[in-house]
Amino acid sequence: MESTINEAKNPGTGTAAGSQTATPATPHLLTNIAVVGLGYVGLPLSLQFAKSGVKVLGLDIDPTKVEALNRGQSYIKHITPEAVADAVKPGQFSASTDFRRVAEVDAVVICVPTPLNKNREPDISYILSTGKTIAPYLRRGALVVLESTTYPGTTEDDLREVLEAGSGLKAGTDFHLAFSPEREDPGNPDSKVASIPKVVGGLTPACLEKAVALYGRAVKTVVPVSSCRVAEATKLLENIFRSVNIALVNELKVVYQAMGIDVWEVINAAKTKPFGFMAFYPGPGLGGHCIPIDPFYLTWKAREYGQHTRFIELAGEINTSMPHYVVERVGEALNEESKAIKGSRILVLGLAYKADVDDERESPSYVLMDLLHQRGAQVAYYDPYVPVIRPTREHPHWAGTRSVTWDEKTIRSFDLVLISTKHSSVNYRELAQWARCIVDTRNAMAGIDTNSVRVWKA
């Protein structure tokens, strides 16, 4: 006989405040879930659960997204319409803007943005507003899992508070609560939701077991940890590790450039070492919704405990200074052509924050465009995956700007092309033939015959 959430048949797994906790539900009970936020994290997760036999209700505040998905269409480049249609047609997946339907499901997975505010402080308002919205419809015995990257304590303190206040239920007694960090890697064909190990932490042992049971339906390997805080900290460590190492190689890029050494050649030589080295690559700055943001969630929270994360903050300073270094290199390149940045026509090649994706969130290309524009340049961009710039919080003034066309006449009309993103679909041989001057921040021109054009590395 299955136990209900208030039946403490295994009191030895009880937790905080002496409350009795639920015994874990068996996996076959988790057959009906809702995923809140149908973006780069929530949509692929939804489709994987649907593919695994779980009935999924996708919830989003954007009716355009909802309508597209219910028609079997995709708005994310690396997710095919066929993948959406395969989930929609048999009825395994449907989308809605009606959050009252949370009352229909056994589990709710929250995948909403966690940006920084204008003071570079954590903004968890999307998490809290989602919690307040779903709380009145939360079923007794349901599981709520947060996947949004955040500081340790968000799940068991902030989210828990709004869920309990809005539902009248108690976490760990009347409903389950857990955290499982997303590990999406857009643009990487080898990155599949089912094959990426899933870290899971629960408010109580029973919460953990139910969350493990849920993800076990869709993911091959589930990694349980002792608490929500550990799971939250795990995600931050993963991205801080990348941020610090990228900062290191960005700093070395500047140093080696002054020495006349190609940092890309150095990295390629160093990575032949079969132990003790992991290759990271320099760039024009950090982009995306993880590395530029996540470290600051920890630095902010650490101050609450009287701790100062100097190493992390230094890495952030180095990475955020990279666009300024790149613009200096642009100025040097134009000077060699007897031109100044002011009045020059400059094409930024690549708006997306990384290769072969259509996600331009926090892209350093925006910063480069701003800096060049402030110095008097006429700035345009080309990106095959971002035909028109959507409104953003930090750079709303570029909204509506369209990508130029890719043809010889257009490319030749620019004084300089600045490669900010290395999309594999771009014909760099044509670029070498058509461009007057190139500044390459991604080593995209390596192996290309550039005898007819001067290429500067930045």
Length of the chain measured in residues: 458
DSSP state of 101: G
| Nearest alpha carbon to residue 131 among 101, 174, 160 | 160
Structure tokens at 329: 């290199």
| Nearest alpha carbon to residue 21 among 11, 31, 33, 32 | 11
Contact by Cβ (8 Å): 121, 300: yes
H/E run at residue 181:
none
Q: Is the dihedral of CA 76, 323, 318, 272 positive or negative?
A: positive
Q: Cα 211 to chain center, whole Å? A: 22
111 is an active site residue: no
Do the bridges between strand 437-440 and strand 454-457 make them parallel or antiparallel, or are there none, so unpaired? parallel
Rg (CA), the chain: 24
Q: What angle do CA 225, 26, 5 make, to 5 degrees?
A: 85
Q: Which residues of 68-82 are buried (b: 16+ CB within 10 A; e: fewer)?
A: bbeebebbbbbeeee
Measured CA to CA, the distance from residue 185 to residue 169 in angstroms comes to 36
C-alpha distances in angstroms, 329 versus 288, 340, 372, 447? Answer: 24, 12, 12, 21
DSSP state of 291: T
Q: Report helix angle 294-304 to 310-336, nearest 10.
A: 140
Measured CA to CA, the distance from residue 428 to residue 446 in angstroms comes to 10
| Of 111, 207, 228, 290, catalytic | 290
| Nearest alpha carbon to residue 454 among 346, 337, 350, 348 | 337
The catalytic residues are: 290
